[in-house]
């Protein structure tokens, strides 16, 4: 089930799934759950190595970006390390940078505030930064979901031996997922402070 030194790890195969991008998160979760019950080290038929392989497969296929990169690797196509940045993505990058910088400035001011009054005065800017970051996160998620909606198209392209659209999407997904994580982190910091 796990890869040997000469084999390439195949997360789809480990979970008993067809090698296709257009697999839902629920399908991955259900396949993992069914197999991991038997493989869990505490189960009568359990095996720690098999359980670890199943966990690795689930982690690989759970996220759209990691699933796409893994699928490309299994298809013999080198996924982009750093995707090309088109004009639209560069514009979004500038927006992300600006909003995260605003959130960081509010977080810094809040960390430096020493009195109850100075902290209270930062409530409105903190709320504005939180809202702007949440709005941005929503946009990033919509863009990621639009790419995921094209996974069936990439599967069909692959059957014809074409990977250009999937490669472009992999580069873009890398940025989107990174920015989503950064936005989530700032939102948590803004809420918890």
What span, in angstroms and rounded, lies between the C-alpha atoms of 188 and 104? 12
Would residue 55 count as lying in a domain?
A: yes
pLDDT in tens, 105-141: 999 999 999 999 998 999 999 999 999 999 999 999 9
Distant-in-sequence, close-in-space partners of 179: CB < 8 Å, separation ≥ 6: 92, 96, 136, 140
CATH code at position 27: 1.10.287.110
Sequence-distant (6+) residues with CB within 8 A of 177 are 63, 64, 65, 144
Indicate whether 24 and 119 sit together in one domain.
Answer: no
Q: At what angle do helices 64-74 and 151-159 cross, to 10 degrees?
A: 0
Number of folded domains that form the chain: 2
**Residue 6 falls inside a structural domain:** no
43 lies in some domain = yes
- Interatomic CA distance for residues 139 and 133, integer angstroms: 10
Residues 183, 120 share a domain? yes
Structural domain including 27 reads: 11-62
The residue with greater pLDDT, 56 or 37, is: 56
pLDDT on residue 42: 79
pLDDT of residue 4: 44
Taking only the tens place, the pLDDT of each residue in 48-105 is 889 999 999 999 999 999 999 999 999 999 887 765 667 888 999 999 999 999 999 9
């Amino acid at each position: 089930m796990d890869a040997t030194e000469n084999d390439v790890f195949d997360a789809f195969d480990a979970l008993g799934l067809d090698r296709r991008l257009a697999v839902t998160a629920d399908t991955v979760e259900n396949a993992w759950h069914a197999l991991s019950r038997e493989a869990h080290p505490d189960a009568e038929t359990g095996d720690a190595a098999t359980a670890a392989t199943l966990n690795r497969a689930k982690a690989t296929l759970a996220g759209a970006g990691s699933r796409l990169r893994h699928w490309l690797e299994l298809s013999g196509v080198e996924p982009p390390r750093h995707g090309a940045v088109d004009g639209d993505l560069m514009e979004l990058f500038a927006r992300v940078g600006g909003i995260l910088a605003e959130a960081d400035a509010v977080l810094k001011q809040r960390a430096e505030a020493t009195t109850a009054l100075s902290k209270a005065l930062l409530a409105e800017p903190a709320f504005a930064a939180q809202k702007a970051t949440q709005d941005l996160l929503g946009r990033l998620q919509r863009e990621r979901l639009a790419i995921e909606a094209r996974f069936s198209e990439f599967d069909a392209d692959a059957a014809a031996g074409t990977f250009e659209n999937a490669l472009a999407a992999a580069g873009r997904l890398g940025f989107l997922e990174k920015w989503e994580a950064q936005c989530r982190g700032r939102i948590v910091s803004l809420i918890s402070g």
